[in-house]
Every structure is written in C-alpha cells, then in structure tokens.
Structure 1
Amino acid sequence: LQQRKEKQLKLLKTAMLQTLFTKKNVPQLRFKGFTDTWKQRKLGEVTKIVSGGTPSTNISKYWNGNINWYSPTEIGNQTFVNSSKKKITELGLKESSAKLLPGKKTILFTSRAGIGDMAIMNTDGSTNQGFQSWVVKPHITDIYFLYSLGSKLKKQALRKASGSTFLEISNSEVKKLTLYLPGFKEQTIIGKIIELIDKLITFQQGKTNKLESLKQFLLQNMFI
C-alpha cells in the first residue's frame, strides 16, 4: 500500500511537470488567475552562475574550518544539503577561487563527471571546481520552481558538454541554457506545490523503509 501511494505521487508529479513545463509559452495546466504567457529566458539572465574552486591541499591553514565545501560525489538523490564532508577556513576561501554561496538561494549543479546532479543548499557554503552553481535573483526566480526544471536543464547541459578525458560544461555554456518562466508569483505557487508532493513522496518512502526493516527483523528472529 505504501509503495502504491509512493508510485501514485511520483506519477502525479511527473504529470504536473509534463503539463506545466512545456516548450510552449502557455502550459496545458494553469492555476486560476494567471493568463500571462511564459517567457523564454537564458539561465544566466535569471540567476548568477558561480564556479567553484579548491584551496591548496598542501596548506593546512586552509582546511578543517567551518565553511562548507562540497564535491560532486556528495550530491545525490537528496533535494537539500546542509553540511559538507570537508570544510575550509576563511583563509582557504580567500586565497582560492572558491566562493561563498548563500544558503536557501543556491542550487548546486554538477558540471563534470556526472553532469546535472542538483541540490538546494540550505546553509551558506562553497564548492570545488566540479560545479556551476545557480544563485537565484530575488523576485525573479523561485528556487524550488527552478529546481523542478532540473531534468530539462540537465538534458540541455549534456548536449552542450564537451571534453576528451571527461565531459564538462563551462560557465559560459551553463549561462546559455534556456527555460520558460512565468511571473514570480506563479513560479512560487508552482514551486510550493511541487515541493509538497516531494515531501509526501519522501514521507511514503520513509514509511516503506521502516516496514521493510521490520520485516527483515521478523524474518531474522522468528524463523529457525
């Protein structure tokens, strides 16, 4: 039953994304009160695209500080990230190309060796050079709305990627990725609904995992 509910929620989310985020300038599904056409924009016009960097690993004063410093391997299936495995110091940040990104306003976007993995950063932090992160602009782009467009933007990024050793997409090419945007108010409403569905999916997954753990416990302890 839990798995069925989880599947139904995922199907609902997919159906919403397919009808809301189309290539047309007016989606099939629309909330009451909104009639303006969606406008095609470049990602670099509606967000600030920020590259990462790595402080020298030979200088101990740069490391084990209190500033989050993410690597692509830490960005997986989770929607939000709060704390990185490795951390750098203020000096490490200052004397490297790493940049401090604002929490709750930044989407981490991996740009090499696994292009297009994404997570919303809840707290301030920085990244290594394997990212081209998106900092949303106030009252222009809703962060969860943009995060929900991730799969479409990832497909574009993979087409634009290049490299002989491994595929990578540059800062300038990420800026050229295109998307359709409604007004900020409509973005916010859509973002909140998609986020609610994601939370319900996570809740159902949690219940399913607990039931599976209970089953394993019973199988291990009730049968000779």
Structure 2
Amino acid sequence: MTNKDESQRKVPKLRFKGFHDDWEQRKLERLGKIVTGSTPATSIREYYDGCFAFVSPADIQDNRFVESTKTTLTQAGFKRGRQLPSGASLFVSIGSTIGKVGQLKVSATTNQQINALINNSDTDSDFVYSLLEHSSDRLRRFSATQAVPILNKKSFSELRVSTPCLDEQIKIGRLFLVLDNTIALHQRKLELLKKLKQGYLQKLFPQDGRKVPQLRFAQFSDDWEKRKLSEFLTPSSDRNNAGKYDQDNILAASLGTELVKKHIFFGLRSTEKSVKSYYIVYPGDVIYTKSPIKGYPNGIVRTNKGVHGIVPSLYCVYHSTHEVNPSIIQVYFEDKYRLDAYLYPLVNVGARNNVNITNSGFLEGYICVSTDIKEQNEVVDIIELVNDNIALYHQKIKFLTKLKQGYLNNLFF
C-alpha cells in the first residue's frame, strides 16, 4: 500500500492492538434512537416533586453521569415524558450550555432542550457518549451559524460520524469510562478537601466574639486577643525604581494560595517603564489586592511564601513584625465571611471596581489571633497541609483532563 493510500484510509491516528479495518461513516440516527425531551405541564403540581429524574441543561455541567436532578417528577409526571433508559447519552441542543454532553445513570426524562440517543444493540453506549464529546465543538459551531443557536432533532440526527466495529467501540468506550470515573473520583476528593478546609478555617479561629477557637491544639490554653492589624503589619514603600526586576518577575494574587506570575492587568500589558513603579515583594510580605477576584468583591489577601518579585502599585504590600507568622494573616482572611466582615467598614468601591482604601487604612481593622507564635505556626501548618493536598488534586485532575482530550483527538477522527 502506498503512502497516499495509507493517508486516505478512514482510521484514527491511534488504535487498540488487533484492529485494522476502516471506520464506517454513518448518520448519528443509525447508532440508535434519537429522542427530544418534553416538559410536563408545570401548571399541574401533581406532576412534580417526586422521585423520578427530570433532566435539564442545569444538570449537565462538568459531570459525565446524571443520576439526580434539580427538578424531579412524580410517577404521573414521569409517564407524561419521553422515558430514557440508564446509559442513554444526552446532548444539550439549545441555550448557553449548548454542546454539553451527559450520560444517564438512572431512567429519566428530559426537557425539550436536550436531544438523547438510545444506542442500538450493535452500538456501545459508552462509545456513543465519548463520540458525542468528540463531536461537541463541531455541533456547537454548526448551531452558532443560525440566528438562534439551536440544534434541532433533524440536524442532530443527520450528523455524520465515523464508527468502528462493536468490539473496537467497546475498547474505546471502556477507556474513556475509566478516565471519567477516575476524574470524578478526584473531583469528589477535591470537594471533600475544600469542605475540610472550610471547616478548619471556621473552627481553628474564635467565632462570635469568643476568645478561644472551637478546635485547638492540646498544648495551648491562653485566650486569643483581638488586635489591630497594624500591630502585625507595616506598609511597604519599597519600589522597583532602579529597575532591578522586569516583566518576568511580576507576581499576582490568585484564588489559589500562592502568588503566580502574570503580565497583564485589566487588559494592559506591563512595560519596562511601568514596572519601575511597582512594589518590590520579599518572602514573608503580605499583599492585599484592592480589586475584585471572582466572588471576592473587595479583593483577597495573600502572603508571599518565598519568591522575590514585584506587584502592581494597585496592590497594598506589607512587611510583617516579629510577633506574627505572616501566613496566619492569609489563613485568617481565607474565610470569605471573615474577610468581608473585616473590610466592610473600611472600604468603598470606586472606578473599575477598585477598592478605595489607603495602604495604612487597610490596617485599621481588628483581627483575633493567638499571641503565641507557636500556636500560629500550628494553625498555618494544618491549613497549608490541606492546601497542598488541594493543589495536588487540582494537578491530577488537570493532567487526566489533558490526557483525556489527547485521546479524544486521536482515538476519533
């Protein structure tokens, strides 16, 4: 066979051992029954709030499997819908999440925004789900060419896809099933770690005016003190005037716990000249962003844990005193409720949603922390241990998601 003939074969780049035949191009409707959902009359209350799943796009986000839904149906409501078996693949065909794909883990019905595919006996249900994931971008682009982005049943049914024999489908389907289950397992562990951290953030600090936390290390017994933040931090005046640091040394606070490198702020790229006005940040310095970050309208607080660099002059930068482990300041303010309660009396939101507060003004509030730096260290250590595990699972999920995308690109065509 010539190279030209090889390049024209209808096969993916990557295949399981033992499979050599060309894939067959077919319309999606030949893989199974296409079902567009419907909504039982919302005016009939007897149809709703039962034990049967009723799937809407809100139930198909980053999860593969759908087994519980925000809206449920009674048996009477379930009988009014177009019933789907466990294993059926779901494709959101209208709305802001068009292109999202899910797979039923229970019998269910869906609303009219979802097209479902119930596979034939010669088609593997797990393969169909992954095939739709692979085809999602193509379908989304097709729907975007219309005045109202929508993929009706006819267009969905006539989508041309390439499929192998059933045995190869099963191999491919099982691979992605294992990957998705592993990703889902890591996501569940990640959510548990986040809940554990939130519990620690509440119980390792005094609540409701108390002088000791609910959860405490055995060797400590003294009352904690409410003290002005200015007793622990002093504003920095160290600027990068001499140009010691350049654009590659710019740091930014993020929703992660570490400072990260960043070149663009508010859509503007930092220049060689502009970075000379930036603050120098040393290990142990505390930074307050003074600008909203995803769900934190008043900004966030971060401690620099070992990197020399610079931050924009918008940020407040502080040196810590010998009385405090600077990381306890970040840990204290990682609880959003505590951060908002501290900042509320001190700030005003100005232009571009920046917070109007001076560097010294930020220090005028009070925080309640242990005066024993050894106890501060213990609190910091346990939170940072949880943070490290959270970061680890983020990395695992990122790696597996990238690996999965690579397989989607190479096991299909």
TM-score by length of 2: 0.44
> Does residue 49 in structure 1 map to residue 49 in structure 2?
no
Distance (whole Å) between structure 2 residues aligned to residue 202 and residue 54 of structure 1: 29
Contact 2:101-2:133 within 8 A present in 1 as well: no
Mapped pair 1:173 → 2:158? no
SS at match of 1:155: helix
Separation of aligned partners in 2, 1:185 and 1:198: 20
Equivalence for 2:112: 129
Deviation per residue, 1:179-223 (Å, 9 max, x gap): 111101111011112221223333444455556666674745715
- The 1:103/1:35 distance shift into structure 2, 3 A limit, reads same
Task: Give deviations 1:95-139, integer Å, cap 9, x for gaps.
Answer: 4xx2010112x111111002111111011000111111111112x
Matched with 1:197 is 179
Structure 2 residue aligned with 1:29? 14
Write the distance in 1 (CA, Å) between the matches of 2:109 and 2:13. 38
Q: Which amino acid aligns with 1:152?
A: H
Within 5 Å, give how 1:1-224 maps onto structure 2: 25-95=10-80, 98-104=81-87, 106-113=88-95, 114-138=97-121, 140-161=122-143, 164=147, 166-207=148-189, 217=200, 219-220=331-332, 222-223=379-380
Q: Quote the Cα distance in structure 2 between the aligned partners of 1:93 and 1:198.
A: 29
Greater C-alpha radius of gyration: 2
Q: Higher relative contact order at CA 8 Å, sep ≥6: structure 1 or structure 2? A: 1
The CA distance in 2 between the partners of 1:57 and 1:42, in whole Å, is 35
- How many residue pairs get aligned? The number is 196
Deviation digits for residues 47-89 of structure 1 (CA, Å, limit 9, x no counterpart): 2110111111111222223321111111100110112222223
- Three-state SS of the structure 2 residue aligned to 1:34 is coil
- Taking only aligned residues, the RMSD between alpha carbons, in angstroms, comes to 2.5
1:111·1:132 contact (CA, 8 Å) conserved in 2?
Answer: yes
Q: Which moved more, 1:174-183 or 1:202-211?
A: 202-211
- Tell me the distance in 2 between the aligned counterparts of 1:211 and 1:83: 23
| CA spacing shift, 1:93–1:38, aligned 2, 3 Å | same
Under a length normalisation based on structure 1, what TM-score does the superposition of the two structures give?
0.77
Q: Structure 1: 5+ residue runs without aligned partners?
A: 1-22
